Amino acid sequence: MIVATTNDLAGYVVTKHLGVVRGITVRSRSALGNLGGAIQSIFGGNLSIYTELAERARQEAYDLMVAHAQEMGADAVIAMYYDANEIMEGVTEVLAYGTAVKIQRA
């Protein structure tokens, strides 16, 4: 599966647009994670506990989006983006979305 943030793919022609695909995950920080993050924030720098949580959430949303595209019979996803929103304190929604397409080599 080719996934790109661009609207086209070099060397390929889009033969059919299948529609919007998305992957959504909602994550919360655990009490232990909050404690670890608080301790890390005292020393400054990268808060690796939160970085890892954010990366896992993005990867899960991405994987769900790709699975949705595969279910639709797509060869690729173009115009892919991420979005994140805090639903409530400590609970974040991460969304990966794009356009599922059929492609062939140019």
How far apart CA 97 and CA 42 sit, in angstroms, is 36
Beta pairing partners, 96: 23, 82
Query: What is the reported pTM?
Result: 0.82
Q: What is the pLDDT of residue 9?
A: 96
Q: List all residues 6 or more positions away from 53 whose beta carbon is below 8 Å from its beta carbon.
A: 27, 29, 33
Would you state the pLDDT for residue 61?
A: 97
> Which sequence spans correspond to the domains of the chain?
2-105
18 and 98 Cβ atoms separated by less than 8 Å: no
For 21-72, write each residue's pLDDT tens digit: 999 999 876 545 555 545 555 555 666 667 788 899 999 999 999 999 999 9
2-105 to CATH, choices 3.50.50.60, 3.40.50.620, 3.30.110.70, 3.40.50.2300: 3.30.110.70
What is residue 70's predicted lDDT score, i.e. its pLDDT? 98
Q: Look at residue 42 in the predicted model and tell me its pLDDT.
A: 58
